[in-house]
A and B are shown apart, each in its own frame.
Chain A
């Protein structure tokens, strides 16, 4: 690599690094710093004493935080699995050449295109126990049999999961589709000539070659799923009885509603660390090929 190229690459990278530094890296560092203090914005008389890892120790003792953690893990596991599955299915469909494919692509993108706050309201409306369409579809006009989805702890979490799967499957589909586009058509032609059937073509050609795209989808979906907030905030506010009190919502309540800035940012830092560890695991054991030069 000649030095002229190196300078070019550096020039290409520097604006990005600058923007990320100002708006992400410094705020993250500031949050880390804040999480090591006890900061209660409503009680400034207490000062902001340095408390080291006390916030984190408190978090481990906090039963509500532990409960939130498990709720979030369930949410992440279920949504990511289904979103990738449905996303793969939709990407395979769209990749196929057929008339009206553009329309299908636009339709599939609609859930992702709607603002999360609107889609959360929409699902709250659809799951309503009085005038919700889901109850209507299941039970017709027999309003006495309607299920109050958002009022029962178990079904409330499922409702949020369904809302998220609906919204984000298209994100996964789009990413996987981009990966599918990269696969040259000749490989399929050659396979067809060799007599390979649909499943064979999928398993031997498509599956290995879309792994990078799948990995990116998995990675970004997991990162986003751990930070779920809008759905729980709008649909249930964390209830009933904390059944949907996902970590980020708990952090939000601590930070912005109660004013526990230090403790709340400690929660965010924990989310960050969890996601970081997961990403390292993904990339290391599953996606080494992604970062190696393509052959």
Chain B
């Protein structure tokens, strides 16, 4: 009895630790969004804000957050859709191909993920310039797809590996094509992997800064990270507006995770094997 009580308290303590570790620094920063200008940089710091919404209003009105948000949604959303589609198809192929080939291709794909971004930013920029794709949505989405594919493919390959071949054989025997089997049997069972890869991919595209900075110089197309970087004026750092913008930029992601988190939870439970 006491052991279970002990393990419960340890567990709750662990949860509190995890939550405070993740939230406290962020809250401390975001609370600046609710302070007044002199409060933010007061020495010594005051951690309890006055709850003024001035910075939110300013961020929305003067700094045009909403349209950066829209651009980020478009770019990150498209990137995720494309990457997951391509990643699912290729991950399946890699999970089912001969080991030697699969190994080789996987390592090749991994090698692609290793090269420092700042070095390939230049050539990518030149390529986009030649194609006339600078300052366009697809000009940013395609490089992002290329940058997020490696991780997506590796995650999805792992998941597809774990799916028992008997399920697929059963489906093939039932008259389904390989492709049909993939769509109807394999994909639904890999939803945790799909959603994990989607979330990581979306967040990556949402937060990517360097390429977005180089490729999008037209304010109409700039995404959130670039937008926030542009808050900084000459010699001024509008902490209040930046904090407000951080709050606004993180909220959709948190909501998305809350909505989709159940999908990540559904594991390869016994249901698949029984049914």
Contacts and interface: CB of A to CB of B under 8 A. Distances in A.
B11 A96 contact: yes
Nearest to B116: A268
Contacts of A9: 92-93, 96-97
A213 B157 CA distance: 12
Contacts of A151: none
A27 interface: yes
Interface string B251-267: 00110011001101111
A96 B18 CA distance: 14
Interface residues of A, number: 106
Contacts of A86: 21
A56 interface: no
A256 B41 CA distance: 32
Interface in B97-133: 97-99, 102-103, 105-107, 109-120, 122-124, 127
A102 B97 CA distance: 36
A294 interface: yes
B1 interface: no
Interface string A207-237: 0000011001001100100010110000000
A209 B154 CA distance: 17
Contacts of B261: 102, 105-106
A150 to B, nearest CB: 15
Contact of B154 (A216, A255, A265, A268): A216
A125 B212 CA distance: 24
A156 interface: no
A293 B164 CA distance: 10
Most buried by A among B118, B127, B269: B118
Main SS class of interface, B: helix
A190 interface: no
B116 A227 contact: yes
A23 B127 contact: yes
B115 A24 contact: yes
Nearest to A270: B116
A293 B99 contact: yes
Contacts of B115: 24, 27-28, 31, 268, 272
Interface string B237-275: 101001001100110011001100110111111100000
Interface in B148-181: 149, 151, 153-155, 158-159, 161-162, 178-179
B192 A181 contact: yes
A170 B25 CA distance: 14
B149 A255 contact: no
A204 B67 CA distance: 52
A220 B151 contact: yes
B53 interface: no
B179 A117 contact: no
A182 B193 CA distance: 10
Contact of A198 (B7, B93, B154, B265): B7
Contact of A103 (B94, B193, B249, B258): B258
Given A114-B249, A175-B200, 17 more contacts: A19-B145, A24-B146, A90-B18, A107-B18, A109-B254, A110-B22, A113-B207, A115-B207, A115-B246, A118-B246, A125-B29, A131-B41, A131-B42, A133-B47, A166-B25, A179-B158, A227-B117
29 contacts: A16-B86, A23-B145, A24-B115, A28-B119, A31-B123, A98-B11, A104-B15, A105-B257, A105-B261, A107-B22, A108-B18, A109-B253, A114-B207, A116-B209, A116-B225, A118-B225, A121-B237, A121-B242, A131-B42, A169-B21, A170-B22, A182-B159, A185-B267, A220-B113, A223-B114, A248-B116, A255-B122, A256-B118, A272-B116
Interface of B: 7, 11, 14-15, 18-19, 21-23, 25-26, 28-29, 32, 40-45, 47, 86-87, 89-90, 92-94, 96-99, 102-103, 105-107, 109-120, 122-124, 127, 142-143, 145-147, 149, 151, 153-155, 158-159, 161-162, 178-179, 192-193, 196, 199-200, 203, 206-207, 209-210, 224-225, 228-229, 237, 239, 242, 245-246, 249-250, 253-254, 257-258, 261-262, 264-270
Per CB-CB distance, the 3 closest pairs between chain A and chain B, nearest first, are A268-B119, A27-B123, A23-B146
